[in-house]
Amino acid sequence: MNTNKKTARIAGFLYLSFIVFSAIANAVGRKGIIIDGDAAATAANIIAQGTLFRVGFVSDLLSALLFLLTAWALYALLKQVNRTLALLFLLLNLCGVAMQCFSMILLYAALPLASGGGYLAAFTTDQLNAQAMFFLGLYNAGFTSAQLFYGAWLFPLGYLVFKSGFLPRILGIVLLVHCVGWLMTFLQSFLFPGFEAITYVSYPLGFIAEFGLTLWLLIMGAKEQKPASIEVG
């Protein structure tokens, strides 16, 4: 197996693993447990489904690690096109992963608050539930903030895929469009939180762009040839 194809398939495997663990975290650790605007119900769910909450937490951390490793593998593949831009998307991904992992600590804080006991016995149940929801809100803000970097990394990634000569140009174009859509989703989340029309477009587009790249890397790999246009950076 040629070097490009091997590196591409490693990147594809890591990308797919990231997607799987992210889906597990959402389906197991948060969906049906966190109820927006209902502190009492959320606390009760966290207590009743503590194991699932922990599984979701660990899955989220693993997904963050896998996403960083994916960026590293893509850097190894695309640095031959432009090392500077490849390093840029790696650093942007690293910033997003760091923010996501920090926000995960805030998410986990809701578990001991909802459970109470020990030194937390000084607070009433309503106070503990309110604090748990406060930390969940901070987690959501932190995770959403990380999307700025996850959106920005798509631009140099898409550009390098487009210019590589050993990956389909259409994937690069879709990634560039996805970059714009994801950055608009980030802005909408903070500036126009009640306006969700952008997400109806950006989420399906994101799935097509990133899952499409994942499948191509995993199944087709990359051609062993010099890039069509090598840029010095």
pLDDT at 180: 92
pLDDT at 224: 65
pTM above 0.85, yes or no: yes
pLDDT at 229: 47
Q: What is the pLDDT of residues 26-46, one digit of tens each?
A: 888 888 888 887 888 888 888
pLDDT at 13: 95
pLDDT at 225: 58
Task: State which H helix or E strand residue 18 sits in.
Answer: helix 3-24
Residues (pLDDT < 70) of the chain are: 1-2, 224-233
pLDDT at 227: 46
Whether residue 204 contacts residue 177, with contact meaning beta carbons closer than 8 Å, is answered with: no
